[in-house]
Structure 1
């Protein structure tokens, strides 16, 4: 086992750290090659998805092979200036996207139960 890999084995990362980074404030004209050049400096990349729709332009998902490479990229590229734009690099969290949907569904279920059992209605 390599010394660096052995040292990594004992490191505890914060729970939000994962292999998927969400990047905001990207220049609209950035190319895939430039993305790979910029983020590839920190380790092997599995995939980069750059937003092309009107509401996703300027954003991208970067998926690293290794969680430590993703952490290094997030630490070093957050606030990095690319084509006069300062990057916002965050760890992607699936729970953030689904939390609102879950709350809406629970609220609808509660309202259905209130109606079914006549709770909250005025006499």
Structure 2
């Protein structure tokens, strides 16, 4: 597989680099304001989404510019926040969708429909 790269001047970026970062190992009580303070130092941020109760300790950070995202990854991977070392990765859609097993979810829905007598078939 050929490596696709982006250029800005003489800077070449690897293919996995993108504007969306996936952050793990965050303190559970971190606020959006604290996230903007930490990540905003490296460029303009379009959006930050902090995990819910099921995904506590994680967040997505979307930068306006891909080079700002790269700078943030370079500087914040391993950064200490409230005695927790951040894990900052580039978001990879293919990798995340693999974690969500669609077949398993469909089987679970079918099992629940059978258990409670719910049908999705048209009754006409």
Match of 1:47 in 2: 47
Describe how 1:84-95 pairs up with structure 2 within 5 A. Answer: 84-95=83-94
Unaligned runs of 5+ in 2: 1-6, 104-124
**1:50-82 deviations in whole A, cap 9, x for unaligned?**
0022x2000000000000000000010000000
Q: Show the 5 A alignment for 1:46-85.
A: 46-53=46-53, 55-85=54-84
In the superposition, relative to structure 1, how do residues 32 and 100 fare at CA in structure 2: closer, same or farther (>3 Å)? closer
Q: Which runs of 4+ in 1 moved over 3 A?
A: 99-102
Gaps of at least 5 residues in structure 1 are 1-6, 105-123
Q: Which has the higher strand share?
A: 2
TM-score scaled by length of structure 2: 0.72
Structure (1 or 2) with the larger CA radius of gyration: 1
Partner in structure 1 of residue 19 of structure 2: 19
> What's the RMSD between the two structures over aligned residues?
2.1
- Cα shift at 1:8: 2.2
The equivalences for 1:96-115 within 5 A come to 96-99=95-98
Give the corresponding residue for 1:38.
38
CA separation in 1, counterparts of 2:80 and 2:9? Answer: 32
Secondary structure, aligned partner of 1:12: strand
